[in-house]
Amino acid sequence: MGSHGWRTTARTELRVSRGFHLDDLDASATPGYDGDKKSGAKDLALRAERLSDLQERLYAESRAGVARNAVLLVLQGMDTAGKGGIVRHVLGSVDPQGVQLQSFGAPSAEELAHDFLWRIERRLPKHGFIGVFDRSHYEDVLVGRVRELASPEEIERRYGAINDFEARAAASGIRIVKVMLHLSRDEQRERLQERLDRPDKHWKYNPGDIDDRELWQEYREAYDIVFERTSTDIAPWHVVPADRKWYARLAVQELLIAALEDIDPQWPAASFDVEEEKRRLAES
Ligand code: AMP
Ligand code: MG
């Protein structure tokens, strides 16, 4: 059973299955959720409490030195898909002290001098934290593939390297939640148009976004290959229809809650004698 307007869990509903193709999924759909924008906003607010409670428990474990787990949310998607909105509206409801946010842009000269995973590995979340990757190592097989930034042999090698890396991270206690925000080409046009029309959104606009937009179908194919090669039991991909921002936020919130519920963090036991401290306080 799901919670609130969910007919099933977001996790089962959105996990990519074998032979999945992005072109087969309607980006404006709201899979698994019976509700509209209004109930979606209400559920988001309600479930924010659950997310926040679980995150606080996880963080408390880290402060007590007993955390053995972390969550890593990997966010991928075309420009304007809503990665920033997820950070603001979903992660925005938890204590920022416990969140490690990391954005990945084009690699620096130093990063390029290392293996593509070098800059990623060192930014994995510490135990007790929720890490968020706004873009990730997957760019190295997405833009890397589409723009031929590495040889075909190197691109080919990377899928296996990613699976090995994620298996190691998972074995170290990191629960990996991989999300692709699936946007339609028409919706992207509208969002880019809005960024151009509104002076308060110009800062979000990047002329290079049009260059990637022109390679839309190539990116689609590169994503399909990513799902085929790197959706593993330990770190499966979830494709979240993102034309409706309210749905995407709700779905990612549920995926995070499910990952934290798997960890099941507990309030750490006091490292002092509670009764004794009460007595001392009363006498002070
Ligand atoms: P944005 O997330 O829109 O601020 O832009 C970040 C840009 O960095 C995007 O155009 C990405 O394609 C690019 N980028 C991120 N990671 C890589 C990478 N590993 N190699 C090349 N370009 C990258
Ligand atoms: Mg961009």
Mean pLDDT per block of 10 residues along the chain (284 residues) reads 76 96 97 95 97 98 94 98 98 97 98 98 98 98 98 98 98 98 98 97 96 98 98 98 98 98 96 97 97
Identify the pLDDT of residue 279. Answer: 98
Is the Cβ atom of 79 under 6 angstroms away from ligand 1? Answer: yes
Name the 3-class secondary structure at 99.
Answer: strand
Name the residue at shortest CA distance from atom 21 of ligand 1: 106
Instruction: Return the C-alpha torsion angle 79, 85, 86, 90, nearest 10.
Output: 180
User: Contacts for 33-41 with beta carbons within 8 Å, 24 or more apart?
Assistant: 33/5, 33/6, 33/7, 33/247, 33/250, 33/251, 34/5, 34/6, 34/7, 35/4, 35/5, 37/244, 37/246, 39/5, 40/5, 40/244, 40/246, 40/247, 40/249, 40/250, 41/246
Q: Could you tell me if 124 and 176 are in contact, meaning their C-beta atoms sit under 8 angstroms apart?
A: no
- pTM score above 0.95: yes
Of 121, 77, 46, 10, residue with least CA distance to 219:
77
Q: Could you tell me if 69 and 260 are in contact, meaning their C-beta atoms sit under 8 angstroms apart?
A: no
Identify the pLDDT of residue 1. Answer: 38
CA of 179 to the centre of ligand 2 (A): 17
Name the residue at shortest CA distance from atom 4 of ligand 1: 105
CA of 250 to the centre of ligand 1 (A): 26
Query: Which ligand 1 atom minimizes the distance to the CA of 137?
Result: 19
The upper half-sphere exposure of residue 110, i.e. CA atoms within 13 Å in the direction of its Cβ, equals 1
CA of 92 to the centre of ligand 1 (A): 23
Q: Residue 161: CB partners within 8 Å, gap ≥ 6?
A: 115, 116, 117
CA of 31 to the centre of ligand 1 (A): 29
Report the distance separating Cα 44 and Cα 98, nearest Å: 20
Identify the pLDDT of residue 3. Answer: 56
Identify the pLDDT of residue 5. Answer: 87
CA of 104 to the centre of ligand 1 (A): 6
Please classify residue 268 by burial: count the beta carbons closer than 10 Å to its beta carbon, then call 0-12 exposed, 13-18 middle and 19+ buried. middle
User: Best of 135, 138, 205, 210 to mutate for ligand 1, by most ligand atoms within 8 A of CB?
Assistant: 135
Q: Could you tell me if 10 and 258 are in contact, meaning their C-beta atoms sit under 8 angstroms apart?
A: yes
Name the residue at shortest CA distance from atom 22 of ligand 1: 106
Domains and CATH numbers, the chain: 3-283 (3.40.50.300)
Report the distance separating Cα 266 and Cα 54, nearest Å: 9
